[in-house]
C-alpha cells in the first residue's frame, strides 16, 4: 500500500471550483493522486520518475 507523507495539495491553477485532483508525496519518493471530491476514495500511485516525466509534458 502507498504510504502518503505530508498532506495532499492542489494546484494553484485550480481556482475555487472544487473539481480538482490533489497530489501528495509518498514514502518511496513518488506521488499519490486523488480526486478532491473523494478524499477517502482510491489513490493513483506513481513513481517519482513517472511524475517528473508527466510534469515535463507541461513545462
Question: What value does the mean pLDDT take over residues 46-56?
Answer: 94
20: nearest Cα among 30, 31, 34, 6: 34
pLDDT tens column, 4-39 = 999 999 877 776 766 788 999 999 999 999 998 888
d(CA 34, CA 26): 13
Buried b (16+ CB within 10 A) or exposed e, 2-25: eebeeebeeeeeeeeeeeeebbbb
d(CA 41, CA 35): 8
What pLDDT is recorded for position 23? 94
What pLDDT is recorded for position 2? 86
What pLDDT is recorded for position 59? 76
Question: What value does the mean pLDDT take over residues 45-58?
Answer: 94
Give the sign of the dihedral formed by CA 47, CA 1, CA 38, CA 22. negative
Amino acid at each position: 500500500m502507498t504510504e502518503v507523507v505530508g498532506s495532499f495539495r492542489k494546484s494553484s491553477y485550480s481556482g475555487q471550483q472544487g473539481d480538482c485532483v490533489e497530489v501528495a508525496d509518498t514514502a518511496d519518493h513518488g506521488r499519490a493522486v486523488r480526486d478532491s471530491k473523494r478524499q477517502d476514495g482510491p489513490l493513483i500511485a506513481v513513481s517519482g520518475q513517472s511524475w517528473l516525466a508527466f510534469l515535463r509534458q507541461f513545462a
